[in-house]
């Protein structure tokens, strides 16, 4: 397994990377001054914010705000302004859905504003020790101090501000080994982090404990939790509903089952690449060559392990 992992890390450095997810600031970033934040009202003082990085969920209470994910560090001021436009309350909690920098880059700045960063205990460990990007093969530096969650949990945790609450739960070995999803029952809003990514192949960070089977199990738990009126904020992509979640589940199961067949036939990773097992799916998910190849590699690695 160690030899396979090293080979896959080497392959990652040659693959066309998705936008650098794992660093707090991408090595070649956009013009931050030109980025705007789009705010969507989900009802009951709950909002989805889209900027640069993972989607953000905001739930405003009477004395504070629960925020899910903080995008890259340079987005702090724009996100803070977008939140101030919908609520005068301070951000009390910032929930990390996982350790990647396009979701956690704002940790230190929001901590300086007075927020308590909350995450799974394994997410904190992954941030603190540093990692290797599963999309580029490059090392991601360790994070310390205010960049780390100050409050952690292991299985479930309920966060409360006056008039609002969020149920946090850990899906095991899904996108990473340290994922969190948040459910706001009073607004019927589910924030999934990167266990759900729409409009592209999902990233499964097998180098940080993620797996295709864990991702499928996470999505199955979301299907059980939600109803037709639930608003689902994915880690990336547009706002979704339960029907879209079921479609995503079908995609994951299809890709898993095809890969299991190839592995059972003794195919090497290069032979799997050559077989193009997901060619008919590429157009449905916007599968550019690099991300599609990364997804094949991740599914293969998590099933071979």
Read off the pLDDT of residues 20-41 as tens digits, 9 standing for 90 and up.
444 444 446 789 999 999 999 9
DSSP state of 142: -
pLDDT tens figures, 209-264 = 999 999 999 999 999 999 999 999 999 999 999 999 999 999 999 999 999 999 99
Structural domains in the chain, CATH included, are 2-304 (3.60.15.10)
Q: CB under 8 Å to 115, separation ≥6 — which residues?
A: 67, 90, 91, 92, 93, 94
Query: In degrees rounded to 5, what are phi and psi of residue 232?
Result: -110, 120
15 pLDDT above the threshold of 90: no
Q: Would you state the pLDDT for residue 191?
A: 98
The residues, ordered by sequence, that sit 6+ positions from 234 with a Cβ below 8 Å of its Cβ are 55, 192, 194, 196, 197, 198, 240
* Order of strands across the sheet that contains 189-197: 156-161, 164-169, 181-184, 189-197, 231-236
Share of the chain above pLDDT 90, in %: 85
| Entry pTM | 0.92
Strands (E), the chain: 38-43, 46-50, 56-60, 65-68, 91-95, 116-120, 131-132, 139-140, 151-153, 156-161, 164-169, 181-184, 189-197, 231-236
Contact 135, 27 (CB under 8 A): no
What average pLDDT does range 170-182 have in this prediction? 98
């Amino acid at each position: 397994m160690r030899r396979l992992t090293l080979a896959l890390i080497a392959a990652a450095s040659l693959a066309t990377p998705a936008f650098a997810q794992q660093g707090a600031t991408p090595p070649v970033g956009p013009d931050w001054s030109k980025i705007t934040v789009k705010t969507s009202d989900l009802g009951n003082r709950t909002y989805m914010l889209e900027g640069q990085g993972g989607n953000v969920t905001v739930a405003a209470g009477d004395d504070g705000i629960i925020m899910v994910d903080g995008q890259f560090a340079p987005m702090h001021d724009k996100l803070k302004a977008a939140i101030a436009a919908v609520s005068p309350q301070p951000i009390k909690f910032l929930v990390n859905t996982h350790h990647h920098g396009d979701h956690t880059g704002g940790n230190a700045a929001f901590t300086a504003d007075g927020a308590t960063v909350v995450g799974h205990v394994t997410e904190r460990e992954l941030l603190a020790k540093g990692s290797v990007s599963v999309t580029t093969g490059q090392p991601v530096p360790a994070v310390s101090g205010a960049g780390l969650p100050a409050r952690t949990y292991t299985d479930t945790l309920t966060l409360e501000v006056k008039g609002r609450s969020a149920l946090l739960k850990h899906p095991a070995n899904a996108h990473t080994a340290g994922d969190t999803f948040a459910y706001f029952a009073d607004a019927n809003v589910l924030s999934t982090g990167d266990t759900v990514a729409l409009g592209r192949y999902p990233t499964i960070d097998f180098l940080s404990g993620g797996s295709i089977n864990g991702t499928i199990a996470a999505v199955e738990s979301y299907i059980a939790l939600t109803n037709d009126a639930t608003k689902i904020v994915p880690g990336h992509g547009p706002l979704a509903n339960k029907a879209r979640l079921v479609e995503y589940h079908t995609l994951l199961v299809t890709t898993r089952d095809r890969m299991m067949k190839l592995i059972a036939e003794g195919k090497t990773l290069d032979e799997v690449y050559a077989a193009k097992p997901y060619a008919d799916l590429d157009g449905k998910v916007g599968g550019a060559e690099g991300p599609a190849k990364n997804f094949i590699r991740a599914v293969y690695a998590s099933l071979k392990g």
